[in-house]
Amino acid sequence: MNGTNEGLEQILFFRKIVFILTIKKMTLRLSSILMILFCLATFAMHGQTVEEGRKSISQNKNLVFDQLLDSARYYLETNADLSIQYVEESLRTLDSKKLRSSSETAASYNLLGDIYFYWKAYDLAASNYEIALKDLRSDSEILETKLKLAESFSLDKNFPLSNDILSPLQKERKLSHAQKVKLFELLGDNHRALGQNEQALDFYNDGLKIAEKRNLPDKVIELNTKIGEIYAQKGDASNAERFYSNSIDVAQQQSVQQEVVQNQRMADYYRSSNQLDKEINLRKANLAKVESLPEKSVDTLTTQALNFDIADAYVSQKKYVEAIPYLNKSIEVASEAKDLETEKDALQRLSEVYKNVGDFDNALENYQKYVDLVDILYEQKEQELEDVAQFNKALALQQNRINILEKDRELTENKIEFIEKEQQLTEESNRRQRLIIYSLIGGLALLVVTVFLMYKSNRQRKITNNLLALKSLRTQMNPHFIFNALNSVNSFIAQSDERAANKYLTDFSTLMRAVLENSEKDFIPLSNEIELIGLYLKLEHARFKEKFDYTFQVADDIDAEAFEIPPMLLQPYIENAVWHGLRYKEHKGNLEVKLAKKDQDTLLITIQDDGIGRERSKALKTQHQLKRQSKGMNNVSSRIAILND
């Protein structure tokens, strides 16, 4: 509910802005700009930035379009000029592409036709309905617009053209019941205007049957009256009164307002058929009902007019004395209501009545008032004619602007059509070239795909081979170490040191189990490698206690679980230091293995010994030892090369 109130306040505020702009004679273009600024302000009030509001308007052009048409409808009955300007502006909000066969365009021209229809510019209404029909796609809207177009032609007295539109619609099954009644009523009106009363009666009766069956009381009243009028015109009093009475009966069931209107029509019939007593009685009854109604509740009937009609009937009967009070009442009420036309007629008739009864002074007095009023009415009529001419000129100018807009639209459509044809020709001429280019590109793409697949296959083969090689290298264990480890066990047993042999064998089996478990892995956590190196150092030191001592240090700031390393990568280097550096030393040596953090992602591993040195170690080695050493170090180099590939 709050949202509805806010929207209503915004619309009212917007209309206030437009009204001020109209007073100052500013163009509607400026009012459109202010409308957009108003929308932006509204967005800001709801917590949006101006930029967001501008984006929202850009994305919701339909909202602006609908607001313009709503404003046009709001002013339709009060300000034709402003209403038409809103419709014109609504057409400008549509881009050229959308203007082509769009429902929005049809809605604008349909509303424009409604505006002209209301202001009785039926020729302009018809031209705009015809434009709307070009773009309408909905069957119901097409049928409704055709009926409005036919009615416009009929009211413009172009009856044959109206019938040309209506006749095919008689077979249309999609018409609603109300539309069918409207169709037959219009056909009846047209044939009646052409003097074809019998055909008119047939159409009116067809419409009346549907209206009665489908309970459309307003149309039942209207069609009964029109049928009664035709019978009255033919002099068939019986049928005329019957249908007039039917219309009054239905009107009584609807409202007092409708009843008094139908009573007035029946009274007019009594006047035309010279049934003056019936006319006077009916008009008096009608006058009483009108006086009991709220003021201006029946636009077509006024008490001054009813009083005049009663007096006029008395005058027709030469009952002048009875006519005088009704004429005086008519003049009094007409003067208060500023109904100069009725007051003029009543003064003229009252002057004639006084003359007929021999009261010449009152006759002259009322005649003078009548003459004065005629002069005023003459000036008023001249002004009204000038206003009508200006109004019609303004409507024509506005329609010309809209026609120019329509021509611009057609020109734009022709340009677009020409460009599209030109593009089609260009596309056709370039089609073969594109086909050749696409073929070449396809061939090249096929070649690239083939090369890529070959490369990928070779790469995969290489990776597979490397994995096999790496797996083979990982599973290799220095046979010299195993052989010597077993000799050490044998030596411990020979020295009857069974406890030392068992402990050595336990540590050796733990190391071998870990090596075998990690043989399938490319990388293991650094913590596992530290454990393996620790076991290996322990075993080697147990064999060569008299040859070296060792220290194994891991920096405290190293997260051993965060780093990964190839399994048993350091073992060959440590073995090399023990077997070829420290084992041949005369005095006891030292071996240091240190792990330190170089930076966040890099470790520095140092293996340092104070053995006999490389040159002397080479001199002491046998040919078998040289071969084993080379193989062990080559194993490590190969593993690193494969992992880095």
State percent of the chain over pLDDT 70: 75
Rounded CA-CA distance 35/41 in Å is 10
Domain encompassing residue 534: 477-644
Question: Of 475, 510, 536, which residue constitutes the final position of a domain?
Answer: 475
pLDDT, one tens digit per residue, over 269-311 is 999 999 999 999 999 999 999 988 887 666 678 999 999 999 9
Verify that 461 and 482 share a domain, yes or no.
no
Verify that 443 and 543 share a domain, yes or no.
no
Verify that 460 and 595 share a domain, yes or no.
no
Verify that 466 and 582 share a domain, yes or no.
no
Q: Is the pLDDT of residue 418 over 80?
A: no
Tell whether 361 is covered by a domain: no
Verify that 562 and 469 share a domain, yes or no.
no
Verify that 396 and 374 share a domain, yes or no.
yes
H helices within 273-359, ranges in order? 276-292, 303-316, 320-337, 340-357
Averaged pLDDT score across all residues of the chain: 80
Verify that 509 and 625 share a domain, yes or no.
yes
Distances in whole angstroms, Cα of residue 392 to Cα of each of 113, 115, 121, 403: 15, 13, 8, 16
Tokens representing 417 are 């059509």
Tell whether 317 is covered by a domain: no
Question: Of 418, 451, 475, which residue constitutes the final position of a domain?
Answer: 475
Q: Which of 454 and 374 is assigned the larger pLDDT? A: 374
The model's pTM is 0.56
In contact, 595 and 603? CB cutoff 8 Å? yes
The answer to whether the Cα torsion of 335, 339, 344, 350 is positive or negative is negative
3-state secondary structure of 548: strand
Verify that 379 and 397 share a domain, yes or no.
yes
At residue 471 the predicted structure's pLDDT band, cuts being 50, 70 and 90, is low
Q: Is the pLDDT of residue 100 over 60?
A: no
Verify that 496 and 523 share a domain, yes or no.
yes
pLDDT, one tens digit per residue, over 377-389 is 888 777 767 766 6
Verify that 631 and 541 share a domain, yes or no.
yes
Tell whether 42 is covered by a domain: no
The residue whose two tokens read 């034709």 is: 80
Print the SS3 string covering 271-285: HHCCCHHHHHHHHHH
The CATH number covering residue 634 comes to 3.30.565
Tell whether 107 is covered by a domain: no
- Number of independent structural domains in the chain: 2
Question: Of 426, 456, 475, which residue constitutes the final position of a domain?
Answer: 475
| CB proximity list for 251: less than 8 A, separation 6 or greater | 221, 258, 259, 261, 262
Tell whether 483 is covered by a domain: yes
Verify that 628 and 496 share a domain, yes or no.
yes
Q: Is the pLDDT of residue 244 over 80?
A: yes
Tell whether 315 is covered by a domain: no
Verify that 589 and 498 share a domain, yes or no.
yes
